[in-house]
Structure 1
Amino acid sequence: MEITMPATPRLDAVLETGLYVADMARARRFYETVLQLEPMFDDHRMTAYPVGPSALLLFQQGATHQTEVLPGGSIPPHRGAGGAHYAFAVAAASLDDWRSRLAAHEIDIEGEVRWPRGAVSVYFRDPDDNLLELVTPGIWANY
């Protein structure tokens, strides 16, 4: 007997990126001061920031190890630690301003790459050792 698989539905976007931080107050100072993000939600376990059509979620390490029961359902446990990587899309014309902003906050740029399609990436770290990237258009076919 042959099994027929249903058609694969399309993924539209990455809507949330979650990072785990050791010290939420320290992480919030970094993201709100250096990157000028404004929280759209925060509670005892997380802070959420809007970034374009997506959300950057900071989770307090250890605060998501148990199921979170909400009025509308439950969120399964999850965990992680620093050392992740993620990239923010930025306009090519803003890259020098970002370099200056990082320097003003005494944040070291650890690397820089000019990609074959013309994009430029600048790499630096947050206080939890996550590798952040600022990247201009042209890195991928869809950006």
Structure 2
Amino acid sequence: MPTLNRIVETALYVDSLERAGAFYAQTLGLRSLLATDSLHAFGVGDSSVLLVFKRGGSMRTQVLPDEGGTIPPHDGSGPIHICFSVDADALGEWEASLNEAGVAIEGRTQWPRGGESIYFRDPDGHLLELMTPGNWDLPGL
């Protein structure tokens, strides 16, 4: 069987792209890669993309220009969970930054392998996690 290398894109579905776009750009400092009326794409580090779709906005097949192909319909509902990797020495700075932005920390975990996580929510109720290395038996995780 061929090998999968990594997850390239992760998607969330939100009620307000403007509100979600501001949260991910300003509160989490993600770099905008693309912004349309139904999608905002953000770079996470140098190897992942967070796609934020307007809920219900991707329910039709999307046809790309110049015979670029098609993207089948998709959508989602309910609170989703996403975990972002952070350096161990940056977790305290992240907590201070989230607190300053008025974002409540809802949970904390000390993982058996030595990593630590904090949990909070985006404006649409999605559960976000910041995790330091030392949780999974994979390099850097």
How do 1:24-63 residues align onto structure 2 when only pairs under 5 Å count?
24-52=17-45, 53-63=47-57
Q: Is the 8 A contact 2:31 2:44 kept in 1?
A: no
Cα RMSD, aligned residues only: 0.7
Moved runs in structure 1, 4+ residues, more than 2 A? none
Q: Which residue of 2 aligns with 1:64?
A: 58
Partner of 2:18, secondary structure, is: helix
TM-score by length of 1: 0.93
- Post-superposition offset of 1:82: 3.7
Q: Which residue of 2 aligns with 1:23?
A: 16
- Give the Cα–Cα distance (whole angstroms) in 2 for the partners of residues 62 and 97 of structure 1: 36
Give the number of equivalent residue pairs. 136
- Post-superposition offset of 1:140: 0.4
- Give the Cα–Cα distance (whole angstroms) in 1 for the partners of residues 7 and 135 of structure 2: 17
Q: Which residue of 1 aligns with 2:127?
A: 131
Long gaps (5+) in structure 2: none
Q: Is the 8 A contact 1:83 1:130 kept in 2?
A: yes
TM-score by length of 2: 0.94
- Give the Cα–Cα distance (whole angstroms) in 1 for the partners of residues 95 and 60 of structure 2: 40
Q: Is the 8 A contact 1:19 1:82 kept in 2?
A: no
Long gaps (5+) in structure 1: 1-7
- Post-superposition offset of 1:42: 1.4
- Post-superposition offset of 1:138: 0.8
